[in-house]
Amino acid sequence: MENIEKLFGMLNEHAEKIEKEHDTTLLEGLLDGLEAWLDGEVDFSQKDATKEDIRKAIQIAILKGMRKSSQPNHQMTPDTLGLLVGYFVEQIFAERLEHDKISIMDPAVGTGNLLLTVMNLLDGKVEATGVEVDELLIRLAAATADLTEQPISLYRQDALQDLLANPVDAVICDLPVGYYPNEEIALDYELCAQEGMSYAHHLFIEQSMNYTKEGGYLFFLAPSHLFDSEQSKQLHKYIQKHAWIQAIIQLPDSMFANKSLEKSIVILQKQSLEYKSPKEVLLAKVPNMQNKQALALFFEKVKMWKEGK
């Protein structure tokens, strides 16, 4: 914690100085500090600081900047959720990871916190791609990836348009929830709404499927009402046609400020002739993270499910 606190303190001090002197935002001041660190103009490094120490210190600084920002799209996936997603990626690809790397894409990478949390967990075992339309967020992601020495190919563009990326073994995504404004592009999707505007989170699921290898996996942090919305029938049909539901993991209510923000982890596998549909879909709820006994039972249930696959 000492390394994290010291590093955060220096980053925050630099960001506040730039914010004041240049009449800019705290996030832009932070980006200035990260890029200056990379260019060797300043040195914020701490002795024995790990990649996780650096990521966490930058994350805290970004969170502070986001609280002062009026941008609704400036949000970050919390560490707890990132670690849970990483745990399921690690479990599903355990045999492969013993001798090989896997490729992962995050089509809504933001500042990179979810992707980098998973990459640090599987250190050295991931080749990653991230897509983000917001210039400030993707520059923060690029700087953090460079400082934590994690190789990510980043593309600044609307992720729902054609991507230059190759198909990957796995997609991880904290789905952007809401309506997609570009109705012309939405028309190219099976999940385009039959009436009115299409849900962006539905289109992200379809686009993610487009860039997943056959037999590959998709790990979504999705709204808990995903399968109960007005366009859910269309989504059900799409998933039945293209994927198998492997797991739906309900997250603790205590993680979210109100019920409308609650999320679940939805794990899909893209259909392939090489594989069969799962014998059993894992339906579970993560207990309160403070309850160690209940957590142990939860992870035991996951282990039994995995062994039965």
Walk me through the domains of the chain, giving residue ranges and CATH numbers. 2-67 (1.10.150), 79-307 (3.40.50.150)
Query: What is the per-residue pLDDT for 253?
Result: 86
Q: What is the pLDDT of residues 139-196, one digit of tens each?
A: 999 999 999 999 999 999 999 999 999 999 999 999 999 999 999 999 999 999 998 9
pLDDT band with cut points at 50, 70 and 90 for residue 118: very high
100-132 burial, b for 16+ CB within 10 Å, e for fewer? eebbbbbbbbbbbbbbbbbbbbbeebbbbbbbb
CA atoms within 13 A on the CB side of 64: 19
Mean pLDDT of the chain: 94
Q: What is the pLDDT of residues 16-38, one digit of tens each?
A: 999 999 999 999 999 999 999 99
pTM summary value: 0.94
pLDDT band with cut points at 50, 70 and 90 for residue 256: confident
Query: What is the per-residue pLDDT for 248?
Result: 97
Q: Using DSSP, how many helices (H) and how many strands (E) does the chain show? A: 11, 8
Q: What is the pLDDT of residues 64-91, one digit of tens each?
A: 999 887 666 667 888 999 999 999 999 9
